[in-house]
Amino acid sequence: MVDLSNNFLGKTAPNPTVLASGFMGVTGLSMASAAKHGAGMVTIKSLSLQPRKGHKTPVIVGFDMGMLNAVGLSNPGVEFGVEELKVAKKAAKVPVIASVFADTTENFAKAAAAVMPAQPDFLEIDISCPNVDSEFGIPFAADPKSATDVARAVKKVVGSVPLIVKLSPNVTQIVPIAKAVEAAGADALNCINTLKGMVIDPIARRPVLTNKFGGISGPALKPVAIRCVYECYGAVKIPIIGTGGVTTGQDAVEMMMAGASAVGVGSALYYRGLDAFNLIATEMKDWMKKEGFSSPKDLVGLAHGQ
């Protein structure tokens, strides 16, 4: 018998899937809807201290193996978001992940403290968005010291709420950064954010996105995400949410075999609709039954033994 229930940092989810930040907005009812459609955990769109409009349209473009987005971290701010997190906590019936970002270490800590009244099950800090360099400079996730400073500052204000640090694939070596945030107090990693890319319109003779650059998601990102999860799993002792290009149950199995304890799902909603969570979970269960696995934990890191 296959039981997909999954324990992540002491919280039990009905399956290993996680609504990735940014794909269902900031309302509590949208997060609850994702849970109703099978998401094992849900993440709010990343919040900042003050509301942000983000970048001018167009901000999303598809290509043959994925999508490119430069939404620019638009959000209504933590004051609005904290109330929606409270709604999600009541309505979703699955673990809820708050997510924040900021332009300075001090503001990361302030944003983290501001969402604590919602009593999220976890707090994720997005130190790795690839399409706001022009405003925020080099992402904190690009440097072990900067990543350490943010993780340590946030850890001081979140109390007993477990801290998840979202890492970037846009680095030459991800392991030193993973180890640095672990040492700074991170309780888990999210590997990975999107990969910086560009699409050009040959007729218009210019980049499609107003921001020029955007973050690659979808199937094209999966091999990069799996590599990052694999490398980090071999270097840290804290659990990992594997995010990037997971569209099917077999993708999720692959991610967990690389070392993920839970699996982020985002662009699959574009390809398969809101039922993507249920479809992925069902496909996982069918695959596990066929291959003789009874629990998701049996998959975690399995590829490291080969």
- The pLDDT score that the predictor gives to residue 204 is 96
Residue 268 in domain:
yes
Q: Is 129 a catalytic residue?
A: yes
SS3 130: coil
pLDDT above 60: residue 279? yes
| pLDDT tens column, 202-242 | 999 999 999 999 999 999 999 999 999 999 999 999 999 99
Instruction: Report the number of distinct structural domains present in the chain.
Output: 1
Residue 134 included in any domain: yes
- 209 within domain boundaries: no
Pairing of strands 200-201, 206-207: antiparallel
Cβ contact 78:10 at 8 Å? no
Whether residue 243 is contained in a domain is answered as yes
Considering the chain, what percentage of its residues have pLDDT values greater than 70? 97
pLDDT tens for residues 39-76?
A: 999 999 999 999 999 888 999 999 999 999 999 889 99
Residue 124 covered by a domain:
yes
Q: Is 66 among the domain residues?
A: no
**How far is the C-alpha of 131 from the C-alpha of 120, rounded, in Å?**
27
CATH number of the domain within which 192 lies: 3.20.20.70
Residue 62, in any domain of the structure? no
What average pLDDT does this structure show over 157-178?
97
In this prediction, residue 128 has a pLDDT band, given cuts at 50, 70 and 90, of confident
Range of the domain at 262: 6-56+74-199+219-305
Catalytic residue among 129, 191, 228, 232: 129
Q: Does residue 144 fall inside a structural domain?
A: yes
